[in-house]
Structure 1
Amino acid sequence: MNKKMIFILTVGVFSIINTEMGVVGILPMIAERYQVSISTAGLLVSMFALAVAVSGPTMPLLFSGFNRKRVMILVLGVFTVCNVISAFAQHFPVVLAARVLPAFFHPIYVSMALSVAGGSVEKKEAPKAVAKVMMGVSAGMVLGVPVVSYITGLTSLRIGMLFFAAVNGFVLLATIFFVPDLPVKEKMSYGSQVKVLKEPSVWISIAGVVLLNGSVFGVYSYLSEYMEKVTGLSAEWISILLLVYGLSNIIGNILAGRLLSSRPMGFITTFPFLLAAVYIVLFFLGYLSFIMAVLTFVWGVLAGAAANINQYWMTTAAPKAPDFANGLFLAATNLGTTAATTVCGFFLSGMGTPYLMIGGILFLLLAFAAIMFRVLGQRRLADAGL
């Protein structure tokens, strides 16, 4: 695959994630514009995420046999049109509907972009190609909120929301004119793809992804609270460190792509201990501003790497059904975020803010157990000649 197409896929994934996350920073303005409560405006985020979790295992599977370029054009077209409708809608229910509809198409584009990138190079180099597309995910999560907030503050809510459509539209045109035709060379039946769920290693991998992603986002969801209550940082410094965390995610994507290409098993089995070490130090020394600043960067790098590990772990468990596997990856990561945010919230409210880290460590221990369970199972099969 040429660099131009990798770039288009990366920006395409950014445009999808930007639509999902960018609205977070303008929720107060949306609430004011449509005269709804902030919690009601928050449905634009929660309902979008729920739609992604529900459609993750199904929509990529349903579209797996169609020409990939045409499917990408369809998804980007839906996102562009719906974002234009959102920008000009006069009533909140219309905005909500225009947000939820494209969310069901979200897993199709992201999973397909990852599959196309990974399948365009030699098997050993696939993690590097996927890592470049995953940078679009990190950029969407990191840059979407501040960029849309800045544009909205400088202009208006409508212009800010039209930014979503503009990015989608740009990638739509780039896909039409610069992405070659991408027919499916080996079309698999839906039944043969779903059949991978009979493999125990697939379910073990799903559990591992749920737990590993939960170990990251269960703690990250309350990072601002931790920085304020434990470290005692001001709102300005918290914003700066959150940006540092997000930008270091991109570094983590790059490093993970290289390590998963050269020494995947060693990196994956070591990873839980690296992240656990960060949590342990933060538990004991998180009140020190310097330690918090340094470890926020390190943590961000590891969090970016975790996203690549999760995608690699899921797709290598079902290599014959890459689109379906990427859909399972998206569903599992969303499920892990939801579950871990709840569990870590219990630690925070029941024992105190510092004990948030205990929840993250608990998920890491369980993730390591799931990882080793699959690794040892594969070794037994290899020893048996199967």
Structure 2
Amino acid sequence: MPLALFALALGAFAIGTTEFVIMGLLPEVARDLDVPISTAGYLISAYAGGVVVGAPLLTALSTRLPRKTVLLLFMGVFLVGNLATVVADSYGAVFAARVLAGLPHGAFLGVGALVAAYMAGPDRRATAVARMFLGLTIANIVGVPAGTFLGQFMGWRAAFLAVVAISALAIVAIAVFVPRLPAPPGGGLRGEMAALGDRQVLLGLLTAVFGFAGVFAVYSYISPMMTELAGMSPGGVPLILALFGTGMTLGSLVVGPLADRALRPTIFGALASLAVVLVVFSFTVHNPWTAAATVVVLGAVGFGVATPLQVLVMNKADRAPTMASASNHSAFNLANAGGAWLGGVGIGMGLGLTSPALIGAVLAVVGLGIAVTASLLDRPAAGAGGTDAPLVEAAATE
């Protein structure tokens, strides 16, 4: 069990590293490809677009395949996409490679979360999912800073070559340590799409879009906030990003056991705490020490939203959860794009660099309102199996 979770977390680590490392290497990428840095920034959007499209698409194409096979295929596509990024010789080729690398992102994490949950059993499902997601959080502490350093001194392609190597290790680890699980029972693609249309699943996805958008409204502009409001030098920004990743890791460690005990209250508490912390951050950001401390807490409560929402969506689509689980990562990437856009709107309107934090707080409150509404609507079903009844899908090995 621990080694299987380690294999899944290693894949998540590779995914988290490739998603965020390019943000620290945009000047090098722009110089090498001879494009403006704003144009190079579209490569971030290319990856996010691949995630949004790829999560439901690849999941739909793999509903009848055994889960271990699916994980290996998805990580293989991810490896090829990053290798294509390394060898691409033009901006258009790099753009296409980033889309390809993003396609299996949500599908891999969605299926991986299901596998982790089934191996752990009904009483430790959220804890197991949180442990797998540690790969994403640790990537922000280790993978992204290390990849940025490597890319700055050996060329930006070296960072993605390192991701290729990590992906290859993840493939070997999954092949060796993850047990063979049968293809999921149920109605195949038709059953998965029906489960995705369930009202509670849709409300869970909508909660993720608004709730997590509050995090990215601030995270997208953390660099100018730290340099212009907190008075830090640009060299201190990587430390702030590492502190955010540290908070994410701490939040992941704490939220899993909490969600196993009380899933809905954990979601409510995380969203409410996120709204409060974002408001507080609009004040503490003016001092480097208080800003740094608040960033750690923001990372913790922000990522505290992710795991319980992932488990809730899987529970509510219990007979065909694969599409819903993968689509949750599309929701998170929509939150990424939407939060960054709304934060930018606030700045563009002249509301100042603290406005993304206040906008993020509003988004978190909206997410909380959706989560509470979903809980109230779900109450009549509690007598017929419980509001947060566990998944019923078998996890027997082949």
TM-score when normalising by structure 1: 0.92
Shift of 1:384: 9.0
The residue that corresponds to 1:54 in the other structure is 53
CA distance in 2, matches of 1:155, 1:123: 46
Q: Distance between the aligned counterparts of 1:291 and 1:352, measured in 2?
A: 19
Q: Distance in 1 between matches of 2:246 and 2:109?
A: 20
Contact 1:209 1:314 in 2 (8 A): no
Q: Partners in 1 of 2:385 and 2:182 — Cα distance?
A: 36
**What is the match of residue 266 of structure 1?**
265
Letter in 1 for 2:377: G
Which deviates more from structure 2 when the two are superposed, residues 236-245 or residues 118-127?
236-245
Partner of 1:378: 378
Instruction: Give the direction of change, closer, same or farther, for the CA distance of 1:84–1:196 in structure 2 (3 Å limit).
Output: closer
Show the counterpart of 1:320.
319
Question: 1:94/1:281 Cα in 2 relative to 1: closer, same or farther (>3 Å)?
Answer: closer
Matches of 2:213 and 2:287, distance apart in 1: 25
Q: Which amino acid aligns with 1:357?
A: A
Measure, in 1, the Cα distance between the counterparts of 2:237 and 2:157: 28
In 2: Cα distance, 1:283 partner to 1:368 partner: 20
Deviates more, 1:324-333 or 1:18-27: 18-27
Q: Deviations over 1:246-273 (max 9, x none)?
A: 1221111110111101122222222222
Could you say which residue in structure 1 is the equivalent of 2:355?
355
Inter-partner Cα distance in structure 1 for 2:82 and 2:236 = 32
Q: Which moved more, 1:320-329 or 1:126-135?
A: 320-329
Within 1, Cα distance between the matches of 2:271 and 2:85? 41
Does the 8 Å CA contact 1:14/1:137 hold for their aligned counterparts?
yes
1:172 aligns with 2:171: yes
1:278 is matched with 277
- Structure 2 counterpart SS, 1:108: helix
Q: Which residue of 2 aligns with 1:91?
A: 90
| Gap change, CA 1:219 and 1:309, over 3 Å in 2 | farther
How many Å apart are 1:78 and its aligned residue?
Answer: 2.4
Q: Structure 2: which amino acid aligns with 1:354?
A: T
Q: What does residue 67 of structure 1 align with? A: 66
The one-letter amino acid paired with 1:284 is F
Change over 3 Å in CA distance of 1:54–1:222 after alignment to 2: same
Structure 2 counterparts to residues 150-165 of structure 1, below 5 A: 150-165=149-164
Q: Equivalents in 1 of 2:383, 2:57: separation in Å?
A: 35
* Structure 1 pair 285–383 and aligned structure 2 pair: CA distance change class (3 A): same
Per-residue Cα deviation, 1:10-39 (whole angstroms, up to 9, x for no partner)? 001111232222222222222222222222
Percent identity over paired residues: 27
Deviations 1:179-235 (A, max 9, x none): 332322525321112112442222222211111111111122112222223222222
- Unaligned ranges ≥5, structure 1: none
Would the alpha carbon gap of residues 82 and 296 (structure 1) be closer, same or farther in structure 2, given more than 3 Å must change? closer
Summarize the alignment of residues 149-298 of structure 1 with structure 2, pairs less than 5 Å apart: 149-298=148-297
Distance 2:58 2:108 in 1: 10
Q: Partners of 1:212 and 1:327 in 2: how far apart?
A: 18
8 A Cα contact 2:207 2:371, kept in partner: yes
Does the 8 A contact of 1:60 with 1:327 survive in 2?
yes
In the other structure, the counterpart of 2:394 is none
- Distance in 1 between the 2:385 and 2:329 partners? 33
Moved more, 266-275 or 360-369: 266-275
Change beyond 3 A, Cα 1:178–1:123: closer
Counterpart residue number, 1:337? 336
In structure 2, do the counterparts of structure 1 residues 377 and 50 end up closer, same or farther at CA, with 3 Å as the change threshold? same
Specify the code of the residue in structure 2 equivalent to 1:177. Answer: V
1:340, 1:90 → 2: CA distance? 32
C-alpha separation between the residues in 2 aligned to 1:262 and 1:48? 35
Summarize the Cα distance change of 1:136–1:280 in structure 2 as closer, same or farther, 3 Å threshold: same
Distance 1:245 1:97, change over 3 A: same
TM-score by length of 2: 0.90
Aligned equivalents of 2:385, 2:78: Cα separation in 1: 48
Aligned to 1:44: 43
Structure 1 Cα separation of the partners of residues 383 and 118 of structure 2: 29
Q: Which amino acid aligns with 2:3?
A: K
Letter in structure 2 aligned against 1:301: A
Query: AA paired with 2:272?
Result: F
Residue correspondences, number: 385
Provide the secondary structure at the position in 2 that maps to 1:373. helix
Amino acid at match of 2:163: F
Give, in whole Å, the separation in 2 of the partners of 1:324 and 1:385. 22
* Matches of 2:317 and 2:305, distance apart in 1: 19
| Aligned residue identity for 2:374 | R
Deviation at 1:274, TM superposition (A): 1.5
Distance 1:106 1:355, change over 3 A: closer
Partner Cα separation in structure 2 for residue 156 and residue 353 of structure 1: 32
Is the 1:58–1:327 Cα contact (8 Å) retained in structure 2? no
Residues 21 and 144 of structure 1 are in contact (CA less than 8 Å); yes or no, is this contact kept in structure 2? no
SS at 2:56's partner residue?
coil
Structural RMSD (CA)? 2.2
Distance 1:294 1:326 in 2: 33
Measure the CA separation in 1 of the matches of 2:60 and 2:267: 27
